[in-house]
Amino acid sequence: MTIDSAAPKPNWFSRLAHPGNFMGWSRPVLWPLGIATALLFGLGLWFALFNSPADYQMGETVRIMYVHVPNAWLSQFVYGAMFVAALGTLVWRHPLADVAQKAAAPLGATFTALALFSGALWGRPTWGTFWEWDGRMTSTLVLLFIYLGIIALWRAFDDPLRAGRIVAVVTLVGALDIPVIKLSVDWWNTLHQPESILTASGPKMPGSILTPLFVMMAAFTLLFLLLQLVSMRTEILKRRAETLSRQAAARPA
Amino acid sequence: MITGSAETVFIVWAYAGVGLVTLALIGAVWLAARRVRRRLAALEAQGIRRRSAA
């Protein structure tokens, strides 16, 4: 038996996520993903603005939900993806894990900022205020600061491997905020409405409102996947360019 | 369909703000990708290639 045949074979995920393989399979995916995202946004906006009813309590302002909820969902989903990537960095030392983490942080920060912005604009006509220091809003603001801290940390180190490990630890610690956001409406009396989609008894909304909401959530989620793939490719190429620059600097004149 | 109401201004601001920031995010990601591709092309034009690609 040779050493090669005795070595464990990489599984499909490891092969797929190898930086070289990733650059190969991700490129042809970008255009179809972009087209699917644009189509879903077109359909979702048509539903949201022209083909959905006003709410019996909130009136027309319910339409803000179709941009607020997808961004709020992504603010937590992106952090969940970064949490898995942080485990990939620290536990499995996966070569793409820190690339995925670094690419996702600015996207997550933007979606979180948009959730806060659209939430404030929804809050003014429904609650009478743009902002209230209640559990859901404050914990979401804390999430934005965690994202910004992670982005700043990435920029503080020249060595991406060292930065990746430190950011991974901070990401794991920062994940404590996610259950706080999720459960804040149950733990504290807040202005924010309680869970109305993922409940034990099913969604508390009619289909005419759920349909545009799910289409917009799918559109924003595909947009995140598209931007994540492009950003990961950019980060891999950036590291390749930095290696080449070092190679050039070391070359005899 | 939206009917004219006092709240319309909040709906317009929400969609306009989210739309503009989302487009800016797409633009920033695209510009960063283009910048790094050009940097890599410039390095390769100088004959600097990865050892594995040599």
Amino acid at A189: N
Cross-chain residue pair A113–B21, CB shorter than 8 Å: yes
Residue whose pair of structure tokens reads 């960063």 in the numeric block: B32
Q: Distance from A200 to chain B by nearest Cα, in Å?
A: 30
DSSP conformational letter for B53: G
Query: b/e per residue, A112-147, with b = 16+ CB within 10 A?
Result: bbbbbbbbbbbbbbbeeeeebebbbbbbbebbbebb
Residue whose pair of structure tokens reads 């991406």 in the numeric block: A160
Q: For residue A97, which phi and psi values (nearest 5 degrees)?
A: -65, -45
User: How confident is the model over A106-129, as pLDDT tens digits?
Assistant: 999 999 999 999 999 999 998 889
User: How confident is the model over B31-46, as pLDDT tens digits?
Assistant: 999 999 999 999 888 8
Report the largest interatomic distance among the alpha carbons of chain A, rounded to a whole angstrom.
75
- On the question of pLDDT at B54 being above 50, the answer is no
ipTM of the complex: 0.88
- On the question of pLDDT at A49 being above 50, the answer is yes
User: How confident is the model over A228-247, as pLDDT tens digits?
Assistant: 999 999 999 999 998 888 88
> In this complex, which of B7, B14, B28 lies closest to A118 when CB atoms are compared?
B14
Residue A250 pLDDT grade (very low, low, confident, very high; cuts 50, 70, 90): confident
Residue A233, token pair as written in the block: 């490719």
- On the question of pLDDT at A156 being above 80, the answer is yes
Cross-chain residue pair A248–B32, CB shorter than 8 Å: no
What chain B residue is nearest to A50 in terms of C-alpha separation?
B1
DSSP-derived secondary structure for B7-35: THHHHHHHHHHHHHHHHHHHHHHHHHHHH
Cross-chain residue pair B36–A114, CB shorter than 8 Å: no
Distance CA A142, CA A184 (A): 13
A12 and chain B in contact, CB less than 8 A: no
DSSP conformational letter for A56: T
With beta carbons less than 8 A apart as the criterion, state whether A61 and B11 touch.
yes
The domain ranges of chain A are 30-194+203-246
CA torsion angle A54 A55 A58 A63 (round to 10): -50
| Chain A residues with beta carbon closer than 8 angstroms to that of B31 | none
Q: How far is CA A188 from CA A115, A128, A180, B54, in A?
A: 20, 20, 11, 62
User: How confident is the model over B2-42, as pLDDT tens digits?
Assistant: 556 678 999 999 999 999 999 999 999 999 999 999 999 99
Distance CA A66, CA B34 (A): 32
| Chain B residues with beta carbon closer than 8 angstroms to that of A106 | 25, 28
Residue B52 pLDDT grade (very low, low, confident, very high; cuts 50, 70, 90): low
- On the question of pLDDT at A140 being above 90, the answer is yes
Distance CA A70, CA A228 (A): 16
